[in-house]
C-alpha cells in the first residue's frame, strides 16, 4: 500500500459548526444515517475493498488494529478538509500509540477523473507531508454503507467493530490552537479507557461527498 504523506499551516479563516456554511457545506442529516452509533459494522461491509493510489486493493477489515479503527472521509479540494488537515498527524500518532488504525478515505466518485483522481491524491499528500493511508472508495460503496455525506466526516469503531462516534473532528474548522472541543480525540480517549463515549454524534460540517449519480429507471 502506498502511504501518502500532510503538513498544513494555519487556516486563513475559522469555520465552526453553526457558522454560515458554504453552498455545499451542510450538516449531515440524521435521516441519511445507515449505521447508527452502537451498531456493529456488518461483515459484508468489512469485506469491501478500498484502493491505494498504486492500485493495490485493501479490505476494510484489514485496516482495524487491536483496539479499533478511525475512518476519516476527506477530499482534495474541499476547504473544510484543508482547514482540518493539521489534525490528521495528531490523530494518526495517537492511534499508532494505542493500536487504533487511522485511515483517510476519498469517496468522491464523481470527481475521480479530475480533482479527486489517485494522482491528485498523491500530489496533495506529498505537498503536505502526511504519513497515513489515503485510500480510494470506488463507487462510494463504503460511504454509502456508513451513511457518510460530508468531508471531513469521522467514524470511530471499537475492537468489536461497534460504531462509537461519528461526526466532526472537532468544533472548529480553523487553527488547532483555537479548538475548544476535540470531539474525535476525546471519543478515542474514552473508548480506550473503556468508558462510554459521552458525545457520540456531532454534526459533520463540510462539502458533500460526490457519490455516483443514481440512474433513473426508464418505463417499459
According to the model, what pLDDT value does residue 208 have? 94
For the chain, the domains span: 30-208
pLDDT tens digits, 104-114: 999 998 888 88
Question: Coil, strand or helix: which one is 107?
Answer: coil
> Residue 115: is it exposed, middle or buried by C-beta count within 10 angstroms (0-12/13-18/19+)?
middle
- pTM of the model as a whole: 0.82
* Whole-number pLDDT of residue 215: 58
CA angle 57, 61, 67 (to 5 degrees): 135
Number of helices followed by number of strands (H, E) in the chain = 6, 9
Give the Cα separation of 15 and 172 in Å (integer). 6
CA 202, 177, 94, 85 torsion-angle sign: positive
Is residue 52 scored above 50 in pLDDT? yes
**Domain 30-208 of CATH type 3.30.2010.30:** no
- The residue among 75, 153, 88 whose CA lies nearest residue 115 is 75
pLDDT higher than threshold 70 for residue 161: yes
Distance of alpha carbon 53 from alpha carbon 69, whole angstroms: 20
State the Cα–Cα distance between residues 177 and 134, nearest whole angstrom. 25
How many angstroms separate the CA atoms of 159 and 65, rounded? 8
Amino acid at each position: 500500500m502506498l502511504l501518502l504523506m500532510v503538513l498544513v499551516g494555519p487556516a486563513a479563516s475559522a469555520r465552526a459548526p453553526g457558522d454560515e456554511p458554504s453552498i455545499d457545506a451542510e450538516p449531515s442529516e440524521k435521516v441519511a444515517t445507515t449505521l447508527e452509533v452502537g451498531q456493529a459494522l456488518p461483515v459484508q461491509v468489512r469485506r469491501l475493498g478500498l484502493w491505494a493510489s498504486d492500485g493495490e486493493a485493501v479490505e476494510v477489515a484489514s485496516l482495524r488494529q487491536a483496539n479499533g479503527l478511525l475512518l476519516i472521509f476527506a477530499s482534495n479540494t474541499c476547504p473544510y478538509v484543508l482547514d482540518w488537515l493539521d489534525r490528521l498527524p495528531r490523530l494518526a500518532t495517537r492511534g499508532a500509540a494505542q493500536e487504533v488504525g487511522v485511515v483517510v478515505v476519498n469517496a468522491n466518485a464523481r470527481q475521480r477523473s479530475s480533482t479527486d483522481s489517485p494522482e491528485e491524491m498523491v500530489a496533495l499528500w506529498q505537498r503536505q507531508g502526511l504519513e497515513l493511508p489515503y485510500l480510494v472508495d470506488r463507487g462510494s460503496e463504503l460511504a454509502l454503507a456508513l451513511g457518510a455525506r460530508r468531508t471531513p466526516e469521522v467514524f470511530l469503531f471499537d475492537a468489536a467493530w461497534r460504531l462509537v462516534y461519528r461526526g466532526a473532528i472537532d468544533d472548529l474548522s480553523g487553527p488547532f490552537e483555537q479548538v475548544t472541543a476535540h470531539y474525535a480525540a476525546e471519543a478515542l480517549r474514552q473508548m480506550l479507557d473503556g468508558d462510554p463515549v459521552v458525545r457520540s454524534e456531532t454534526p459533520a460540517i463540510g462539502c458533500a461527498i460526490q457519490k455516483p449519480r443514481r440512474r433513473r429507471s426508464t418505463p417499459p
